[in-house]
Homo-oligomer: A and B are copies of this chain.
Amino acid sequence: MTKNTGIFYGIGVGTGDPEYLTLKAVRLIQQADVIAYLKSDKGVSIALHIASEWIKKQQKMAILMPYKTNRQAANKAYDTAAEKVSSYLQQGLNVAFICEGDPLFFGSYIYLHQRLSTNYHCEIVPGISSINATTALAQIPLIQQNETLAVVTSRNTDEEILDALSNYSSVVIMKAGVARPRLLALIKQSKRLNTTCYIQRAGQKGEVVIQDVSQLTGKGDYFSLFVISS
């Protein structure tokens, strides 16, 4: 780490509503020399879309990330991106990686941080995470007093999800849509269907809030979650 290298910023831009950007995110995005962001193979970047109002003259650095991929391909994309970010930092340029939600809560920033934080000065700006955005939208108290909260995903085993549903006051199941029938069966088995809410694409086009999940059938969107409250 030398004195003249740039700073690598990990900046959360929230879940979709451009007004969920923090003042700090706006300031650092505006001041950055380079804005880095993930782009799907369809050319879509949700983070760039959210922050677009504040990106004018900064240099843009798209990181192409295949949507359906094994970790090996993703790791290779992050390796290449880290090298490119590194070259900017070596030139003394500040690079801001903008990231949906919060950078350290299922955030893609984590993979770049792991590759760059040993050699470069990193600063992280938290963002509104999906659990806060969705509970605000659906007006569901998430945790209070002596309650407990578990966050799991559809990638976890039935046993892990049932443990959360059995032992925790509130449970959030992330990436729910893709495994919706299986998850609904587990929630039903835990007798918690009555206090379950399904939220899809909070703050984005295609936003859906379902308070009565017994009507849900089939798969849903990738950007979705179940909130099971106390």
Measured CA separation A137–B125 after assembly (Å): 8
* Contact pick for A132, options B17, B104, B135, B150, CB 8 Å: B104
The reply to whether B20 and A21 form a contact with Cβ atoms under 8 Å apart is no
Q: Which of A107, A151, A164 has the most CB of B within 10 A?
A: A151
Interface of A is mostly: mixed
Binary per-residue interface labels of chain A (122-136) against chain B in the complex, 1 for a CB within 8 Å, 0 otherwise: 101111110111011
The reply to whether B142 and A164 form a contact with Cβ atoms under 8 Å apart is no
Binary per-residue interface labels of chain A (82-109) against chain B in the complex, 1 for a CB within 8 Å, 0 otherwise: 0000000000000000000011111100
Select the stretch in A22-30, A57-65, A193-201, A216-224 that faces chain B: A22-30
Binary per-residue interface labels of chain A (188-225) against chain B in the complex, 1 for a CB within 8 Å, 0 otherwise: 00000000000000000000000000000000000000
Chain A interface residue count, CB cutoff 8 Å, equals 56
Select the stretch in A36-44, A155-163, A179-187 that faces chain B: A155-163
The reply to whether B19 and A27 form a contact with Cβ atoms under 8 Å apart is yes
Point out the residues of chain B lying under 8 angstroms from A113, CB to CB.
139, 141
Q: A145-B155, A152-B148 are in contact. Are A20 and B23 (CB under 8 A)?
A: yes
